[in-house]
Amino acid sequence: MSENFPLSNSELKELVKKFPTPFYLYDEKAIRENMRRFTKAFSIFPKFREHYAVKACPNPYILKILASEGCGADCSSLPELMLSEMSGIKADHVIFTSNETPASEYQFAYKQGNIINLDDITHIEYLKKALGGKLPETICFRYNPGNEKTGCNSIIGKPEEAKYGLTRAQIIEAYGICRKEGVKRFGLHTMVASNELNPAFFVDTAKLVFELAVEIKEKTGVQIEFVDLGGGLGIPYKPEQKAIDYDEVAKGIRAEYDRVVVPAGLDPLGIYWECGRPITGPYGWLVTTAIHEKHIYREYIAVDSCMADLMRPGMYGAYHEVTVSGKENAPKTEVYDVVGSLCENCDKFAVQRKLPKIDMGDLVIIHDAGAHGRAMGFNYNGKLRCGEILMREDGSFKEIRRRETIDDLFATLDLGGVEGFKA
């Protein structure tokens, strides 16, 4: 999706004068327009809401933009809950879906009025104890369909091999227990895909969840008020891939809704998503500078960023389009490995990639990095993570996260005690 980059070479050079590379750049206007397309597609349901997956881009400026477009939040940790709060997201529009969760985090979510989504049947008693002998008025459970759901990709894994969620028998039992405990409102959640581009996959998932909601009602008397279909809608990282059609997915799910939900008396049923990647992914870029070249068994271009800023290619072998600013239309005459400075051979943004000839000082753009990019950064090798820049709708630029410093890296060390420490 290289054509989406919003700046010309001259404009980018001017930006780099103020904000040296590497940095992430996000396009506010494009994110807003995309969120509106997403909302419009799924507004064919009587109750719909997107809960942005905070883990995808945990920056309060981005979250505040999405909140202004009607988004809730999908959170899985205390800091994510706190970020959602400070971004102005309504408490009851936050779903806390975590696993192996400390009691203190459940307590915080409950106090805030967030929706708690439990990952295991044993967590009912754990939560009850954490809350002083009571359960929330609203509760949700995550369903793991096991071998009922096939075609899942390797990122999230096969359901029967995944650590997440309750079995079918367990989830029926869990709703029965919670009803007896006085819980009044119920939701149902599943998450079985990541970066999936086949619309039929999501229609099939919705069918499975709708039918389970009906079974729960029949066996326990519990009326499911909303279903969270998880996330997993993918984006076309590779040039030959086709972007997923939101309308096609929505219409396919609506057909199953009318077939299963309406006759069962569950209408109006809330339809929630917790997508991150398709909302911001295509509208964030890692901008870096070529600083070294190496000619051995392969041709290498080294940039001033590394896997510490974007780990997906090294961790998953994930593909990200790479372009050279000002050379977008130049012939791709060279074959490079584009690498960073980490002491790991997997620290590569591109492997044997056909690109134009890259000169030292060229600005290199790594595309589709607006989700699971800066968020997955780390400090191995003492690397300092880059900052984040937001391009506002009016064309101005706002630094929404400064780059890390040595002081940041050492902040948790007792450096004052080192001198007197006897080894």
Closest CA relative to residue 399, chosen from 382, 386, 413, 408 = 386
Catalytic annotation, pick one of 152, 275, 343, 386: 343
CA-to-CA dists, residue 3 to 233, 261, 262, angstroms: 21, 41, 43
Please indicate whether residue 306 is annotated as part of the active site: no
Tokens of 323: 């372009």
Q: Where are the beta strands (DSSP E) in 14-120?
A: 23-27, 47-53, 72-75, 94-97, 115-118
Task: Name the residue among 316, 374, 368, 363 with its Cα closest to residue 338.
Answer: 363
Neighbours of 65 (CB within 10 A): 22
Q: What is the DSSP string of 278-342?
A: HHHGGGEEEEEEEEEEEESSSEEEEES--TTT--HHHHH-----EEETT-TTS---EEEEEE-SS
Q: How far is 252 from 260, CA to CA, in rounded Å?
A: 13
Angle between helices 246-256 and 199-220 (to 10 degrees): 30
Distance separating alpha carbons of residues 179 and 182, to the nearest angstrom: 5
Cα distance between residue 388 and residue 26, in whole Å: 8
Distance (Å, rounded) from C-alpha 350 to C-alpha 337?
5
Please give the positions annotated as active site: 343
